[in-house]
Amino acid sequence: MSAWLLNGLVAVPLAFAVLTWLLARREAAAVGLAVLGGLVTLGWSVAAVLTKGPDVDVPWIAQLGVRWHLGLDGISGPLVLMSTLVVALCLVSLVRHDPGCGGRAGLAALLLLIEAGVLGSFLALDMVLFFAFFEVALIPMWFVINGWGEPHDETGRRRAATRFLIFTVLGSALMLVGFMIVRSQAGTFDIVQIAASYRPSGAAGVTAAVLVGLGLAVKTPLWPLHIWLPDAHSKAPTVGSVVLAAVLLKLGTYGFVRFWMPVTDPGWRLLAPFVAGLAVVGIVYAALACLAQTELKRLIAYSSVGHMGFVVLAVATFTLGGVQAAVYASVAHGLITGLLFFLAGAIKDRYGTGDLARLSVLYGKVPRLAGLFAFGAMASLGLPGLAGFWGEMLAIRSAVYPSSGLPAPTYTVLAVVAAFGVILTSAYFLALMRGMLQGAPAAVRPVNEDVPSIELATREVAPGTTEAGALRRDVDVMEWVTWGPLVALTLLLGVAPGLLLGPVSEAARAFFGGLR
Amino acid sequence: MRTQAIDWAAIAPPTALALGALLVLVVDTFAGPPRSRRAALVPATLTVLTVVVAAGLAARLWHAPHRTFCVVRPLQGPAPCSFVVDRFTLVFWGVALFGTAVVALLGTVAVADGRTPLGEWNFLLLSSATGAVTIAAARDLVTLVVALEVVSLPAFAMTGLRRGDRRAAEASVKFFLVSVISTAVMLMGVSLVYGATGSVFLDRIDAALAAGGVVRQVAVVGTLLTVVGLAFKVAAVPFHMWVPDTYVGAPVAVAAYLSVVSKAAGFVGLMLVLTVGLGAFADVWAPVMAVLAALTMTVGNVLALRQQHAIRLLAWSSVAQAGYILVPFGAAASSARVVGASMGYLAIYAFVNLGAFAVAAVVGTRYPRQRLTDYRGLVRDEPGAGWALAFALVALAGLPPGVVGLMAKVVVFDAAAGPATWLAVVMAVNVAIGLVYYARWLAELFRPSVTEGGSRYDVPNGVAVAIGMTFTAGVVFSVFPGWLLDPVLGVLG
C-alpha cells in the first residue's frame, strides 16, 4: 500500500501531464484535467504523508548499485505538501488567466511534469535517483521560460532560459561527480546508510563535499552563484516564477539538508564556516540589491536569495535546530514568496509593467490586492506571528549555538551580521510598500500621458468606464481561491510553528543519528 | 602434423555477413536497375535479414567463450588464439549489428533520389560490418589491423558512391587520405610493440610487458603510435579534422555509419589493445588518454556551439561524445572498469545518435541544406520524427526524459570520479556546454512552424522503421536502464 502511495506521487502528476498534453487541442478541457491532476496529487501527497509506511527500495540498475529508493519522512514531508499545494494553486490560476504565447494546455502539462520531477527528488533516498529526478524538472522549466515568458522580449527570455539551464546542469553535473566520489568512499549510493555510517575523511571526502555543495549552491542559489536567478524570474511567466521560487529552489535547500550534511564533516575547520559565510554575504548582498531594484519581480527574486541565505546558514551549523530552521524556512519561503510572485504577476497583468517607478498608490486603486501584497511583504520581512519569522529567528538562533566542532565565535559574528540583514530586509520591503502601495500621487509624480499607469495614479477614474477596465479590477473570486490557502497557511504556521518543528526534529534525529 | 582446427560456430556471424554481402551483390546484378520503389528496397531488406541471421548465430555463443585460429604447437604456455568470442565480443556485436541494420534502413532514403546504386551500397555496408564484427573478436594485432581496414575501405566507397556528387567525392578522398595515414602510423606502432615483446598476440604482449625485460622505450613509443592510429579512427582531437567535412559531404546514412559503427570499431580496437595487450603500460597511456579525452570533448563541444548546419553540428557533437567515451581510459583505475564504462556509454550513444541521424535523413529529403531553422515546427508537422529527434537530443545532452543518456553519463562519471576527479570535473563543465547547442536545436523543433498544413514529409518506410527502432530502444531503456546496463556492466565489470 505504501509503495503504491510513494510511486504514485511521481506517477500521478506524470500521467496527468501526458493526458493534458494529449488533450491540448481542446484547451479548456485540458486545463480542467490539469487542475484535477494537481488536486489529485495534492490529495495523494496528504494521504502519503499521513500514512506512515516502509520505504520503496528495489534495485534499479543493479550493476551500478543504483536503487529505486523512495521514502517520506518529517524532513521531506512538509516540502512535498508545500510543493503539491503550490503547483495545484498554479494550475488553478491558469483556469482564468491566460499567459498567452503557446496556449495554456502545454504550460499546464509542463507544470505537472515539473511537479513529478520535484516530488521524485524529495522522495529519493538514493543519490543517483535524486540526481535523475533533479534533472527531470529542468527541461520543462526551460520550456516554460522560453515559451511562455515575457512576451515582448523573445531574445531576453531565451537567454534567461538558457542561462538557467546551463547553470543548473553545470551544478548538478558537479554534484554527480561528488556523489560518485562519495560512493567510492562509502560503497553505496543509499543516503540513509551514508548518514548512518559514513564518516567523510581525507582529500577525497573534502572534494566530494565541495562538489556536492557547489552543485546544490547553484540551485539554491547561494551567493555568488545566484546570477541566473533574477533574469529567470523576471522573464518567466507568473506561474513559472511561483514554481521556480516556491518549489525548484527548495530542491537546493532540501539537497543541502539531505545530501550535503551527511557527506560533510563539521569537524573540518574551513568548509562549513566558509559556506555559512557565503550564506551571510548572500543575505546582506541580496538586501542591498533589493534596495536598488527598480523592477518588482527582480526585487522579489533577490529577496529569495536572501531567504535562501538563512536556510544555508542554518544548515551549515550542523545542529538539530539548524535542520529545523532550514526546513521551516524553506516551507515558509515557498508559501510567502509563492504568494508574492502571484501578486507581482497580478500587478504586472493589471498595469502592464513591473517597473517600480511607474507603480504607485495601489492602496487607492486595488485596495484588496495591495492589502494582500502588504501582508506578503510583512510575512517575508519576518513579522512575528507570520511564518517568515520563525525560519529566520531559528536560523539565527542555530548560528549562535553551532555544532561543537565548529568555531563558535565565527558563527556568532555571522549570526549578528545575519540579524543586520533582517533589518535591511525590513528596510527594503517597507520602502517597497511606501513607494508602490502608498504615496501622494499628484503632488509627487507629474502626469505623463505616455504612461497609462501613472495617468491612472494621478486621476480619478470613474468605475465602469473602459479605462477602469476589466483588467484593472481588484482581486476576483478565482484569485481569492488561488491565494487564500497561501495566506491561511502563512498565518497558521506563524501562530503554530510546532506543527512543523515537531515532525522535523523527530525525522532529523532518526536520519542523522547523533545530531544534537 | 596437426592442422589448425576451426570453430565454425564462432566465425559463423562474420561469415554470414560476408556471404550476405555477396548475395546482395549477386541479386542486384541479376535483377538489374530497380523498376519500382518497392524493388529498390530489396537490397536493404536483404541486408537487414543478413544482420538478423548473424545476430541469431551470435546469440548461440553467449553461454561459453569460443576460441579459434589458435597457435597449433605453442613453444610454451597455453596456445594463444587470434579469434575469441567472449561476452565482451558479443556485447559489441549487438551494438554493431543493431547499428548496421539501422543504417541499412536509413540508406533507403536514397531511393527517391535515384542516384545511389543501392545494391553496391548495401554490399559495401555489409562488407564493412564484417570488419566491425571481426575486430571485436580479434586477439592479435595483425587481425586487428586487418579488420580495422576491412571496416574502413568499404566506408570510403560508401561515402563517395552517389553519382554526380562532388562534395561526396571530396569527402571520400579526404577520409581516405586521413585513414591511410592513420593506418600507417598504427602499423608502425604495432611493429614496434611486436619488436619489443616478440609477439603479436595480445595476451602474450601483456605477459611479456608484465614480466619485464622489454626495451621499455621501444614499447612506449610503439604504444603511443598505436594509440595515435586508433585516435584517428575514433576522431579524437587533434586527429579529428576529417570528421566535419566528411560527415557533411557524405550521405546522411553514411555519416550515421561513420559516427556509430565505424567509430565504435575504433573504440573496440582501443579497448583491446590498451586493456588486454598493454594493460601493464596503463601508467603510460592513461595520462595520454586523459588529455585526449579532455581535449576531444572540449574542442568538440565548443566548436559545435556555433554550427548552423545540422549534420555539422552532429559531427562536432559526435567528436565531443567520443571524448566522453575516452574518459574511462583516462581514469584507468582497473582495466575491467574502463571497458565496462566505455562500452556502456558506446552502446547507449549508438542508438541515440542513430536516432538523431535518422530524423536528419528524413528532413534532408526536403531540406538538403540542413539548416537548424529547417527543423522549425517539426514536432507539430511530423510528430513521429519530431519527438524522436527531441528525445535523441535530450538523451545526447544527458537529461531526462532521456534517462538513458543520463545513465550513460553516470556510468562514465562513476569510472572517472576518484581516480581522475579533474577529468570528471572537466566533463561536467562540458556537459553544460553541450547543452547549449542541443537546447538550441530543441527549441527549433518546438517553435510554431512557418507554413501551415500537416505532414510535409514523405517518410520512406525503411527510415520510419529505423526511427521507430531507435526511439523505442531509447524509451524502453530510459524506463528500465538496468535492462541495458546490467548485462553490459555485468559482463565487463
Nearest-5° Cα angle at B393, B387 to B399:
105
Q: How confident is the model at residue A515 (pLDDT cuts 50, 70, 90)?
A: low
Identify the pLDDT of residue B54: 93
Nearest to B230 by CA among B273, B191, B260: B273
Are the CB atoms for B295 and B323 separated by under 8 Å?
yes
Is the CB of A158 less than 8 angstroms away from the CB of B481?
no
Residue type (1 letter), A19: L
Are the CB atoms for A401 and A361 separated by under 8 Å?
no
Which of chain B's residues have a Cβ under 8 Å away from the Cβ of A135?
A: 399-400, 406
Residue type (1 letter), A383: L
Are the CB atoms for A265 and A194 separated by under 8 Å?
no
Quote the pTM value: 0.87
Q: Which of B302, B327, B339, B399 to mutate to test the interface with A (most CBs of A within 10 A)?
A: B399
> Which residues of chain A from 48 to 67 reach within 8 Å of chain B, CB to CB?
59-64, 66
- Report the residue of chain B nearest A147, measured CA to CA: B447
* DSSP helix, strand, coil percent of chain A (3-state; round to 5): 75, 5, 20
Per-residue pLDDT tens over the stretch B370-415: 888 888 888 888 888 888 999 999 999 888 888 888 888 888 888 8
Per-residue pLDDT tens over the stretch A440-465: 554 334 444 444 444 444 444 444 44
Q: Helix, strand, or coil here: B85?
A: strand
Give the pLDDT mean for B286-292. 88
Identify the pLDDT of residue B131: 93
Q: What is the C-alpha to C-alpha distance for residues A202 and A194, in angstroms, rounded to an integer?
A: 16
Flag whether residue A174 sits within 8 Å of chain B, measured between CB atoms. yes
Per-residue pLDDT tens over the stretch B271-281: 888 888 888 88
Q: Which of B421, B446, B492 to mutate to test the interface with A (most CBs of A within 10 A)?
A: B421
Please state, for a pLDDT cut of 90, what percent of chain B lies above it. 25
Q: What is the C-alpha to C-alpha distance for residues A418 and A398, in angstroms, rounded to an integer?
A: 12
Is the CB of A204 less than 8 angstroms away from the CB of B418?
yes
Cell numbers found for residue B84:
575469441
Is the CB of A139 less than 8 angstroms away from the CB of B486?
no
Give the pLDDT mean for A382-406. 87
C-beta atoms surrounding A18 within 10 Å: 14
Residue A62 has phi, psi (to 5 degrees) of: -60, -40
Identify the pLDDT of residue A465: 42
Q: Which of A21, A60, A61 to mutate to test the interface with B (most CBs of B within 10 A)?
A: A61
Residue type (1 letter), A259: F
Cell numbers found for residue A192:
540513509
Per-residue pLDDT tens over the stretch A68-87: 888 888 888 899 999 999 99
Identify the pLDDT of residue B335: 54
Per-residue pLDDT tens over the stretch A260-307: 988 888 778 788 888 999 999 999 999 999 888 888 888 889 999 999
Per-residue pLDDT tens over the stretch A296-350: 888 889 999 999 999 999 998 888 888 889 999 999 999 999 999 999 888 887 7
Q: The cell 532529523 sits on which residue?
A: A508
Per-residue pLDDT tens over the stretch B54-108: 999 998 888 888 888 888 777 777 788 889 898 889 989 999 999 999 999 988 8
Per-residue pLDDT tens over the stretch B298-353: 999 999 988 888 899 999 999 999 999 999 888 875 556 778 888 889 989 998 99
Please state, for a pLDDT cut of 70, what percent of chain A lies above it. 92
Identify the pLDDT of residue B277: 85
Of B414, B417, B429, the CB nearest to A64: B414
Domain positions in chain A are 268-516
Q: How confident is the model at residue A516 (pLDDT cuts 50, 70, 90)?
A: low
Q: At what angle do helices B403-416 and B310-330 cross, to 10 degrees?
A: 30
Q: Helix, strand, or coil here: A239?
A: helix
Domain positions in chain B are 8-492
Flag whether residue A444 sits within 8 Å of chain B, measured between CB atoms. no
Q: What is the C-alpha to C-alpha distance for residues A373 and A296, in angstroms, rounded to an integer?
A: 12
- Report the residue of chain A nearest B407, measured CA to CA: A132
Return the sign of the alpha-carbon dihedral for residues B397, B399, B404, B410. positive
Q: Please tell me which residue, A351 or A489, carries the higher pLDDT value.
A: A489
